[in-house]
Structure 1
Amino acid sequence: MSTSLVRKGLELFADESVAELGGAVSHRKKKGPSSVKREDMMEKINTNKKGVKKQLNKIRHREIKKPTAKEGKIKSSIDAYKKCQPSDCTEENVQLLLGLSRSNPETSGFYTQILKHSRGKLAKDQEEEEEQTEQEGGFTEEDFALFDKDYVPKKKNAAL
C-alpha cells in the first residue's frame, strides 16, 4: 500500500471518531513557525507611531528566514565568525613565486612576461632599450685601402 492511501484511511477513521465525540474536524493547515501573531509582533516594535508597517514587515521577514530542521544544519556563530575572518595566503604565494624562479628555463619566459605586464606606464617606469651598435660590414678598412689603390685612378699632376 502506498503512504497516501494509508494517510487517507487514517483521516477517515479520525473523522469518524471525532464525529462520535461531537466535535467538528477542521481541515485548516496549522500555522507554521514563519507566521507570527500580530500581538507578539506589536510587542517587539517601537512605541513610535511612524514606520509601524515597515517594522512589522521586517519582523515578519526575520521570522520567515529563520532556519528550520529541514533546511539543514544550523551554524554556530563561532563558525560564521571564523569563516568571515581574512585568511593569510602568504605561504601559498611564496611557494608560487619560488616555482617561477629564473633558473628554470621553462618559466623564464613567464617571469619576463609578468615583469613587463606589472611595469607602470609612466616614462620613468619604462625599461630603457639598449642602443643598437653599428653592424660591421664584410669589409675592413684595409680592404677599402686596397680598393682605392687598384680601382680609383690616381690624379696626375693637377697643374697640367
Structure 2
Amino acid sequence: MTETSLTHATFSLEREYAASPPRVFAAWADPEVKARWFAGPAAEYELDFRVGGHEIVRGRDPQGSALTFTATYHDIVPNERIVHTSHLYDGEVLSTVSLTTVEFLPAGEGTCVRLTEQGAYVVGHEQPAWREQGTLDQLTALEAELRPGADRDEAVSDN
C-alpha cells in the first residue's frame, strides 16, 4: 500500500467590492460571468448553480499538466452565502479536498466577501499557500469583473 501524507489548513480572505451584494452574488451564480473571472479563457467550464448542483473546471497548469476542479453546492442563500465542497485533481491524482464558505456582507455601499476554506492537501501535489494565492488571484479577477464601467453582461448589473 502506498502511503500519502496530508496537510490540513484553513485560510480566510476578505475583499471589499464597490458593488451591491446582489451584484457580487450574481457574479458567482451566472455561469458565463463566473467562467470569465474564475476559470479563465483557456479552461472548459460548467456550472449548475443550485443546492446539489456541480461546478467543473478543466484546464492546464503552467507546466501543461491537466487539472480538474469539481465542486458540489450544499447551501445557497441568495445574496448572503454559498457553501460547497470541492476536489482538485492533477491528472488522475487527487491534490486537494476542501470545504469553502463564501459570505456576502454589506459594507457601506458595497460588499465585503469573506471566503473561508478548510482543506486537506496531498503533500507533493498541493500546498495551502498555493491554494490561497490562487484564490486571491480569482478574487482580484472578480474585482476587475465588477469594476464600474467594465464591458460586462447585464447579469452583474445592479438592479
Q: Considering the TM-score relative to the shorter chain, is it more than 0.5?
A: no
Q: TM class, shorter-chain normalised?
A: under 0.3
- Answer 1 or 2: which has greater helix percent: 1
TM-score, with length taken from structure 1: 0.21
TM-score, with length taken from structure 2: 0.21
- Answer 1 or 2: which has greater strand percent: 2
Q: Which has the higher contact order (CA 8 A, sep 6+)?
A: 2
**Which structure's CA Rg is the greater one?**
1
